[in-house]
Each structure stands twice: as structure tokens, then as C-alpha cells.
Structure 1
Amino acid sequence: MDNHSVEALNLRAPDLITVTVDKLKPLEFFRNDRDIFKVGGGKHRITIEFSDGTETFTTTFALPLKGDMFLLSIPKMLNGTEPYFEPYINNEIQSRNDAEPAQEIEAPLAP
């Protein structure tokens, strides 16, 4: 789950929310927070409660059966902007895996 504003679409992330997926433990999200719910592919129920008194948001969503991890944008979901989730690829790990193999550096032996 990602609670970052989506600048390109002018979508502001909520300040403080509590998110529940299925019957898992609820998690609090401040703006710019990101956390993990471990669920499988298929249909899920999400409930988002707002600290500012905004009416509770509840809907269902379905994740593909294939794929290891997905990043779901809370602001996109709240505004009905699809796709609100996408396969998650950790760029740091990806770039390290794509990099050329490390070269060995010969260092002089200590006396």
C-alpha cells in the first residue's frame, strides 16, 4: 500500500488513515507512508477510515494470481483512477542485478 500523492494526476494523499484489508490487522498510514499487507491473488475487501471525519471508504479489488508483489496507490483507488495497482519492482535491487559484475581490485599486501 502506498499513500503518496500522485503529482502527475494532481491527487493528494490523505493525511492520516487507517487501512484494513480483509480481516488482517489494520495499519495506520500518514501521507507518504508505504507498508505491506500480505495477501494472495484474488478478490479482497479494503476499508479506509479517515482521521478528519471523512466518510469511511469500502470497496473490493482483485489482484492477479500471477506476480509476487503489487503496489496499490491509495489516492488513485480513492479517486477511481485505474490502474490503481501495478507490479512492484524494487528498482534498487533491479539495478544491482542488471549492473555489470563487480571487478576485482588488486590491493597491495600488507608487510
Structure 2
Amino acid sequence: MKPKAPNVHEDGLLEYLEDIIGYKEKQNQLKDKLSERKKNMLKQNKITKILKINMENLLKIIRIATIFRGERTIRFDEQDLIDLKEELSRLERFLEIEENELKAIQESLKDMR
């Protein structure tokens, strides 16, 4: 048996060992997981952007309400804004972690090739 198949229609030792190990199946599973993570990451990114826009809109509303009422601060709304900022930063940290994991998976796929 030759070390590597001379063409697509024949098998060599390398292809035989890949069949035994199940390399192709594992590679396909990793590709599926990678594509699923990419989809989830895109969804998270969209959610983060939407939350950021909502937070900015809320801030504008608070400013308008403050001017309209003639008050300098609206404590209740400021606390909501602080909570939204904390949630936004938490989601951005989560997104960063997911991006790092995605990069690690991509590197491992490159190493497998």
C-alpha cells in the first residue's frame, strides 16, 4: 500500500488511517460547531448593537425630559441608564470571549489541515 493515494479513486495508507480514526467526521463536526458559533456570535453582536442604540435613545429621552421638566437630574431614569450601561458592558465582554473562542477554533481547524 502506498503512503498516499496517487489519485482520488485509490486509497493509500494515509487515507486508510484517516478512515480508521474518523478524521473526516471529526473535521465535519468541528466545522458545524464553528459555523454555529459564528451564527451565535453574529446574533450576539446584533443584540449588543441594538442594546447600545436603545441605551443612547434612552439617554436622549432623559435629557429631553430633564430640559422639559426644568430639572437637572431624574434619579430613577439615571439608575435605569446605569443598569443598561452595566448590561451593555457585560454583553460586550461576553461577545469578546466568544470572539476569542471563535479565533481559537479557527486556528485549530487551520492546524488540522
Normalising by the residue count of structure 2, what TM-score does the alignment of the two structures yield? 0.26
Write 1 or 2 for the structure with the bigger share of helix. Answer: 2
Larger RCO, structures 1/2 (Cα 8 Å, 6+ apart): 2
Write 1 or 2 for the structure with the bigger share of strand. Answer: 1
